[in-house]
Amino acid sequence: MAFSLMEYKEAFPWRTAIKEEVLERRMPPWGAVKGFGDFRNDQALTPEQLELITSWSQGGSPEGDEKDLPPKDKLEEMMKESAWLSNGPRLDHQPGEIIASGDFKLIKPFTLDGLLPKNVPNESFQMVAELPDGRIEPLLWLNGYKLEFAHPFLLLTPLELPAGTVIRGIPSGANVALLPAPQN
């Protein structure tokens, strides 16, 4: 079910559904478990934002003051930057990216900037990097990710992965693009 949230009068009838969807973390459609990997483009709601929406929904859903709204042109600019309203990421192969499936072993060093699920099941799964020295780095825990809202998960800080690193946790038949850090 889709409905607009651009105007108060459009959102008001859906206030209870909005609260339920955000509390179940189906809205906005981020698709990853918070706290398993740090992402610079994380658009999942914070606990404070969840509390604000819950309080609004349970407190009569007041409209608020128009003076607090961003100007229409600023709102349009913000919407262009949204992971869900842009043209979306390119799902074709990009230079330097590696398509990983199953347990994938790197044969040369790679600086990981992010991950882009390309063909993944609807089930929950965790991806980790097992480094040759025995350390394990959490990469991404997908849960409720939908390909129609495809977007990359860009690491807060690029991760240096030496040769011999094994990416584990990608389900059979699935593939995920390992996105390289930009060259300086």
Q: pLDDT truncated to tens, each residue of the chain (184 aa)? A: 667 777 888 888 888 888 888 888 777 777 888 788 889 988 888 889 889 988 988 888 888 888 887 777 776 776 665 555 545 555 566 788 999 999 999 999 999 999 999 989 888 999 999 999 999 999 999 988 888 878 899 999 999 999 999 999 999 999 999 999 988 6
Q: Rounded CA gap, 74 and 76, in Å?
A: 5
Q: How many CA atoms lie within 13 A of 127 on its CB side?
A: 29
| Six token digits for residue 176 | 């995920």
- Please report where in the chains the tokens 């859903």 appear, as a residue: 61
* Cα distance between residue 12 and residue 97, in whole Å: 43
- The per-residue pLDDT for 87 is 52
Its pTM stands at 0.75
